[in-house]
Amino acid sequence: MKHQNLLLIAFLSVFSLSLNAQNKEIFDKITVAPGMEVVKLSSKAYFYVSYDDMGSFGIVPCNGLILVNDGEVALLDTPANNERTAILMDWIEQGLQAKLTTFIPNHWHGDCLGGLSYLQKKGVKSYANQMTIDLTREKKLPIPDYGFTDSLTVKLGDMDLCCYYPGGGHSTDNIVVWIPSEKILFGGCMVKEVRATGLGNLSDAAVNEWPSTIDKVINKYPDARIVIPGHGAIGGRELLLHTREMLEKNNKSMP
């Protein structure tokens, strides 16, 4: 537990430095549970990090986004299991006094939809790339409720959650979600934090396709104020550019 707390402190320090570098205010931080923290980005957006046990990868900081509007909440990515997801959902409904109604996973890995079965038992509707649905069915995992191809705008009251599939990257099915009213881009695991020196888990990656995928994201969202990666500190558009640079170096090093 002490190790997890030290990791969380280090993560949040980097988070604060990243925002300072962009002349952004330091936002309120809320402890939800040991190894789980929420940071208020605006009156309608909360970033969370949950330090979860990812098996052979050990304890990993997993990021997600909470959006609240008109008494309803959308969650982008769950913690890695039902127990951790239940803790987060309890905080959402008690701390924000709003009902979690909508869930959108970034891709099929456990650090995105590990708590889906719990949310489904609670009546939360889930929306996912059709490729994600096909993969979860193939791998006998909990299956999201509604699928889309290319793009889908999910409404949370009058707030638009713009889901877009730009192509393969960290996984063949990874998407991004753009919230235009907040100028927040949830990039998930296809986007790397600025301190990252490698591309992470490539076991299900579409490495050759990834550069063109990230280029599409860079060009499509020039107004992104906050960019959230799947793991590590959030920042701005520099995360997209840093990811692109690492992909270029990776491709040059390949035979």
| From 81, 82, 109, 112, the catalytic residue | 109
Catalytic residue among 62, 112, 163, 189: 189
Asked about 231 being catalytic, the answer comes back as yes
Q: Which of 216, 222, 238, 227 is nearest to 165 (CA)?
A: 216
- Considering the candidates 44, 81, 82, 107, report the single residue annotated as catalytic: 107
Question: Which of the residues 69, 111, 163, 174 is marked catalytic?
Answer: 111
Rounded distance between C-alpha atoms, residue 159 and residue 101, angstroms:
14
Active-site residue, selected from the candidate residues 77, 106, 170, 173: 170
- From the candidates 69, 82, 106, 201, which is the catalytic residue? 201
Is 251 one of the catalytic residues? no
Is 109 one of the annotated active-site residues of the chain? yes
The encoded tokens of residue 151 equal 């793009």
Q: Is 252 a catalytic residue?
A: no
10: Cβ contacts below 8 Å, ≥ 6 apart: none
Active site residue 192: yes
List 44, 163, 173, 192, catalytic entry: 192
Six-digit token pair at 80? 């890695």
| Rg (the chain; Cα; Å) | 17
The continuous run of DSSP H or E covering 34 comes out as none
- Whether 99 is catalytic: no
Q: Are 69 and 75 in contact (CB under 8 A)?
A: no
- Contact between 80 and 100 under an 8 Å Cβ cutoff? The reply is no
Q: Of 224, 74, 92, 41, which Cα lies nearest the Cα of 152?
A: 74
Q: Which helix (H) or strand (E) holds 36?
A: strand 36-42
Residue 170 among the catalytic residues: yes
Q: Using CA atoms, how far apart are residues 31 and 38, in angstroms rounded to an integer?
A: 6
- Residue the block writes with tokens 């320090």: 13
List residues with catalytic annotation.
107, 109, 111, 170, 189, 192, 201, 231
